[in-house]
Amino acid sequence: MDLFQGIRKSLLVVESDSEKRNLLLTYFQKGVECDAVESIDEAIDAAALHEYSAILAPLLPPELTGLELIPKLELLSPNTVPIFTSEVESAGNTVKAYRAGAFDVVQMPMSLQKLETAVQRAFIQYEMRSLRDRYRNQIESEVALRTFELEQNLDEIERSYRMTLNAVVKSLEKRELETEGHGERMITFSLRLAYELGLERAALRDLELGTLLHDVGKINIPDDILRKPVRLSMTEWNMMKQHPVFGHDILAGIPFLEGAARIVAEHHESWDGSGYPHGLRGEEIAIGARILAVIDAFDAMISDRVYRRARSYQAALTEIERFAGSQFDPMVVEAFRNIPASDWEFLHDRSLMGRLENQSYQSIVSELVFARRGMELVH
């Protein structure tokens, strides 16, 4: 039985190019009710007359005038789900779109399959909104019957956000010339340390996203500073030290990134108050940021750089211990010390293999942790 039986699915395509518009119209009309218009203004007029399940529209950089559609939809057709396409690969534009209320942004290179996947996810979101309205006034037991299915769909929506955020961060890493596997290592290393400290599920989720996005503020740092091969001037260094603030500002207002935004803002603070940008100290700093500070230093030390070879695990541990109580939280350093070197080696090697499509970072780390606990019980 179809849970969403009776909820009609319809799509409005916005495309100024007649050839593309006809292609999209022909493609989507095979499965759903589909209309097409040339401009954002026409789309607003159409939404005033008809409630579409989703609207597929261009971002229209550089001013991103396509986003003008969102506040109009909130007034005219609040259940309609806005999806945007971007022919300009820009991490900043993608983040702005999410902050404005976009459900999804399909980046270049685009394909009909990618668009269809985004539209199908939008239909799920529309169906959820419609169900919410349909059953708002019904008794709690009837709503409870659908709770599990809705939670599964919410998880799928969050996974789609994560996929897009991963793509944004990968483009930033290419700009910053990061070492291979850096992004995955930072996340799995942080989660491994968090497991050692006993962080709960919500905190693990915030840490994963905060680690993924910890340098997103560098979008606002000019290339001539970010890629400068010699020591930065004082003015340049002061600009670089603002990237946690820029990152927090980018993420502020995105509800599911609230915890991550704090980690992004505080990951360069120091236990003794000597860090930046706000000079926070001790437990004023979020635990996720205190974990990330240790892991950021650790990964930097064990990775090859153009100006030096990677250090050994033992040399990195000695250096981290030397700064316990000043740069790093002593409790976090103690937990780091308790993790076997073989765990770090496994996660390092794993980062060079590439993550399996259906395997989450948390599953990689939890399987490692529980496998080790099993071996400890055997011995």
Q: For 19-46, how does the pLDDT look when each residue is reduced to its tens digit (9 = 90+)?
A: 999 999 999 988 789 999 999 999 999 9
pLDDT of 178 reads 55
Q: Give mean pLDDT, residues 161-190.
A: 68
The answer on 218 and 72 residing in a single domain is no
The pLDDT score that the predictor gives to residue 378 is 43
pLDDT band for position 16 (cuts 50, 70, 90) = very high
Would you say residue 4 has pLDDT above 90? no
167 in any annotated domain: no
Q: Of the residues 124, 158, 192, which one is the last residue of a structural domain?
A: 158
- Shared domain check, 372 and 319: yes
Are 57 and 17 within 8 A, CB to CB? no
Q: Which residue has the tokens 């495309």?
A: 15
Average pLDDT over residues 143-162: 59
The larger pLDDT score, comparing residue 302 to residue 179, is at 302
CATH classification of the domain holding 154: 3.40.50.2300
Last residue of a domain, one of 102, 128, 158: 158
Question: Is residue 163, in this structure, part of any structural domain at all?
Answer: no
60 lies in a domain?
A: yes
With bands split at pLDDT 50, 70 and 90, how would you rate the model's confidence at 2? very low
Give the range of the structural domain holding residue 198, as residue numbers without chain letter: 179-378
In sequence order, which residues have a C-beta less than 8 Å from that of residue 309 and are 6 or more positions away? none
Q: Is 173 within the bounds of a domain?
A: no
pLDDT of 3 = 38
Residues 239 and 148 occupy one common structural domain: no
The yes-or-no verdict on residue 219 having pLDDT over 80 is: yes
pLDDT at 14 over 80: yes
More confident residue, 363 or 119: 119
371 and 243, same domain (yes or no): yes
254 and 333 fall within a common domain: yes
Categorize the per-residue pLDDT at 377 as very low, low, confident or very high, splitting at 50, 70 and 90.
very low
Number of folded domains in the chain?
A: 2
Picking from 128, 158, 188, the residue at the C-terminal end of a domain is 158
User: Is 172 domain-assigned?
Assistant: no
| Token reading at 42 | 């026409």
Residue 297 inside a domain? The answer is yes
The first and second tokens of residue 131, run together, are 């169900």
Sheet architecture: strand order including 10-14: 33-37, 10-14, 54-58, 81-86, 104-107
Given the residues 9, 72, 114, 218, select the one marked as catalytic.
Answer: 218
Q: What is the pLDDT of residue 70?
A: 95
pLDDT tops 60 at residue 182: yes
Residues 198 and 325 in one domain: yes
CB contact at 8 A, 83 and 57:
yes
Kindly state the average pLDDT of the residues 173-187: 68
Domain presence at residue 330: yes
pTM over the 0.85 mark: no
What is the per-residue pLDDT across 241-275, written as a single tens digit (0 to 9) for each?
999 999 999 888 888 889 999 999 999 999 999 99
Task: Give yes or no: residues 188 and 141 share one domain.
Answer: no
- Which tens digit of pLDDT belongs to each residue from 85-141? 988 777 788 889 999 999 999 987 778 888 999 999 999 999 888 877 766 645 555
218 classed as catalytic: yes
Query: What is the per-residue pLDDT for 216?
Result: 87
Same domain, 81 and 225: no
As a whole-number percent, the residues of the chain with pLDDT over 90 amount to 55
In a domain, 170, yes or no: no
Whether residue 1 has pLDDT greater than 50: no
**Average pLDDT, whole number, for the chain?**
84
Q: Do 121 and 218 reside in the same domain of the chain?
A: no
CATH code of residue 370? 1.10.3210.10
Q: Are residues 55 and 132 in the same domain?
A: yes
β-strand partners of 82? 55
Task: Find the radius of gyration of the CA atoms of the chain.
Answer: 23
pLDDT band at 297 (very low <50, low <70, confident <90, very high): very high
* Mean pLDDT on 281-308: 90
Handedness of CA 308, 314, 317, 319 (dihedral sign): negative
Same domain, 52 and 154: yes
Instruction: Please tell me the total number of residues recorded for the chain in this structure.
Output: 379
Do 187 and 232 fall within a single domain?
A: yes
